């Protein structure tokens, strides 16, 4: 990662050749830019270093329907600024997957739209809006798993905090205590942030699979609950663990990901049928930080679509089967965010800029409001409106 200070500069990056055999692909090339802010650190670890010196934020992005809009990336960064303690001092590595697919399938946006998005990201980097940022652009489409592998080749810190572009922070997060816990207990190899998937996790594992989770770990003021799967959602782990354990065992191909290849295909069958679940789980060391509430929220990038408020076609897009709509960045006074709960439903949420609900979704059977998306959607919209 670059040192702090100085202007942004462009340079050609060659990924570490020793790590590229893990990708199963020849080097496709990339470009990068840096931006340093030179702000002092605040969060310290048990080793005396700040968490921002030991952790690199790795954010992955790829073509989605909302491109060339930057609204999703900016919403993610806003959630970092609001909820990630000492965010301004972390090094950020943004890896942008390539556009051209080897299988010939269409992407979720046009090549021109994605290139415009990439150019806009480079401008944000040069302006300093992305903070201490390095941008890694891949020339061809690798998929999440191999794009992450390419990014890890550029990381020089011991730890990585991995976030996909459509996972937002909705509660405050301090990575310092998590780093401390992983330093104090070597069996903790992965710490995920809590989402809806891990709420009431122990009871769900007991009811669905008749599995009694191993004991929780209580370290550095954290409650770490054993997690029986490697999830790709936001997590902290060591770069070394990714490169030496997860990626070699996952043996990912193009368009694959660690959650499927390592978590579902390898971890889960072993843990499900283990004679000694606690002992088998220690081999993987996956935990989540249990705070009793949702900390990260998934705003599906595949269902995100930026539209002009005055577009003639907008009326036909709002309603049954519509996608999620977010105003483009240049339309700062846009008034609404529309969320379609699923493609087959006949109800949706419209959130006004004045921070109140204009229309609640209603089930055609009960005619009662459907509430699950209320809090997260409002939080996302408020972050965008600010």
Average pLDDT in the chain: 74
Give the residue from 208, 269, 258 showing the smallest Cα distance to 232: 258
Give tens-digit pLDDT for 313-370.
Answer: 333 332 333 333 333 333 333 323 333 333 333 333 333 333 333 333 333 333 333 3
Residue 311 above 60 pLDDT?
no
- Measured between alpha carbons, how far is 280 from 11 in angstroms, rounded to an integer? 45
**Contact indicator for 264, 231 with CB cutoff of 8 Å:** no
* Domains in the chain with CATH codes: 1-297 (3.90.550.10), 308-385 (no CATH)
CB contact set of 305 (below 8 Å; sequence gap of 6+): 65, 66, 317, 323, 324, 325, 326
Buried-state track 59-96, b at ≥16 Cβ within 10 A, e below 16 = bbbbbbbbbbbbbbbbbbbbbbebbbbbbbbbbbbbbb
What is the pLDDT at residue 44?
A: 63
Angle of CA points 38, 57, 131, to nearest 5° = 35
Give the residue from 70, 51, 164, 60 showing the smallest Cα distance to 113: 70
What is the pLDDT at residue 104?
A: 76
Give tens-digit pLDDT for 144-183.
Answer: 999 999 999 999 999 999 999 999 999 999 999 999 999 9
For the ranges 27-36, 217-226, 272-281, 304-313, the lowest mean pLDDT is seen at 27-36
β-pairing, 159-164 vs 55-61, is parallel
**Contact indicator for 367, 333 with CB cutoff of 8 Å:** no
**Contact indicator for 119, 127 with CB cutoff of 8 Å:** no
Percentage of the chain modeled with pLDDT above 70:
66
What is the pLDDT at residue 232?
A: 96
What is the pLDDT at residue 156?
A: 96
What is the pLDDT at residue 287?
A: 98
Bigger pLDDT: 301 vs 12: 301
What is the pLDDT at residue 315?
A: 32
What is the pLDDT at residue 314?
A: 34
CB contact set of 65 (below 8 Å; sequence gap of 6+): 108, 109, 302, 303, 304, 305, 323
Tell me the mean pLDDT in the region 254-258: 91
- Residue 310: which pLDDT band, with cuts at 50, 70 and 90? very low
What is the pLDDT at residue 185?
A: 96
3-state secondary structure of 79: helix
DSSP codes joined into one string, 283-348: HH-EEEE--SS--EEE--GGGEEEE-TT-TTHHHHSSTT--EEEE-TT-TT--EEEEES-TT-S-E
Residue 312 above 60 pLDDT?
no
What is the pLDDT at residue 255?
A: 86
What is the pLDDT at residue 304?
A: 64
Token reading at 214:
């191993």
Question: Which residue is listed with tokens 């030496």?
Answer: 244
List Cα–Cα distances, 160 to 135, 172, 243, 272, 329, in angstroms. 16, 18, 12, 28, 30
CB contact set of 206 (below 8 Å; sequence gap of 6+): 212, 213
CA dihedral 167, 172, 175, 181 (to 10 degrees): -110
3-state secondary structure of 15: coil
Residue 291 above 50 pLDDT?
yes
Q: Which uninterrupted H or E stretch holds 193? A: strand 190-193
Angle between helices 71-83 and 374-385 (to 10 degrees): 100
What is the pLDDT at residue 9?
A: 30
For the ranges 124-138, 167-181, 310-324, 370-384, the lowest mean pLDDT is seen at 310-324
Angle of CA points 94, 176, 187, to nearest 5° = 95
Report yes or no on whether pTM surpasses 0.85.
Answer: no
């Amino acid at each position: 990662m670059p040192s702090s200070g100085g202007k942004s500069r462009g340079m050609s990056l060659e990924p570490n050749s020793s790590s590229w055999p893990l990708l199963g692909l020849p080097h496709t090339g990339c470009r990068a830019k840096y931006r340093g802010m030179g702000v002092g650190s605040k969060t310290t670890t048990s080793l005396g270093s700040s968490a921002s010196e030991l952790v690199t934020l790795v954010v992955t992005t790829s073509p989605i329907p909302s491109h060339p809009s930057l609204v999703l990336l900016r919403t993610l960064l806003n959630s970092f600024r609001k909820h990630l303690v000492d965010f301004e001092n972390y090094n950020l590595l943004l890896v942008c997957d390539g556009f051209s697919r080897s299988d010939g399938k269409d992407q979720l946006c046009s090549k021109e739209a994605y290139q415009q998005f990439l150019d806009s990201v480079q401008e944000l980097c040069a302006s300093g809006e992305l903070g201490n940022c390095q941008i890694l652009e891949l020339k061809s489409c690798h998929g999440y798993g191999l794009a992450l592998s390419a990014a890890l080749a550029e990381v020089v810190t011991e730890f990585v905090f991995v976030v996909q572009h459509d996972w937002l922070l909705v509660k405050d997060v301090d990575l310092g205590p998590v780093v401390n816990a992983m330093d104090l207990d070597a069996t903790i190899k992965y710490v995920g942030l809590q989402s809806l998937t891990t709420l009431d996790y122990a009871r769900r594992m007991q009811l669905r699979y008749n599995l009694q989770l191993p004991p929780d770990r209580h370290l550095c003021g954290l409650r770490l609950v054993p997690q029986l799967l490697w999830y790709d959602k936001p997590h902290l782990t060591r770069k070394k663990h990714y490169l030496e354990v997860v990626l070699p065992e996952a043996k990912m191909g193009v368009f694959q990901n660690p959650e499927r290849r390592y978590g579902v295909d390898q971890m889960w069958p072993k843990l499900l049928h283990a004679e000694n679940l606690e002992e088998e789980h220690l081999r993987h060391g996956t935990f989540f930080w249990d705070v009793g509430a949702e900390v990260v929220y998934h705003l599906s990038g595949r269902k995100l679509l930026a539209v002009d408020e005055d577009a003639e076609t907008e009326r036909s897009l709002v309603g049954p089967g519509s996608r999620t709509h977010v105003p483009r960045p240049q339309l700062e006074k846009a008034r609404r965010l529309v969320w379609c709960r699923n493609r087959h439903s006949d109800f949706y949420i419209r959130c006004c800029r004045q921070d109140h609900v204009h229309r609640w979704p209603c089930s055609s059977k009960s005619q009662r409001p459907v509430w699950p998306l209320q809090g997260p959607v409002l939080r996302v919209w408020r972050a965008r409106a600010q």
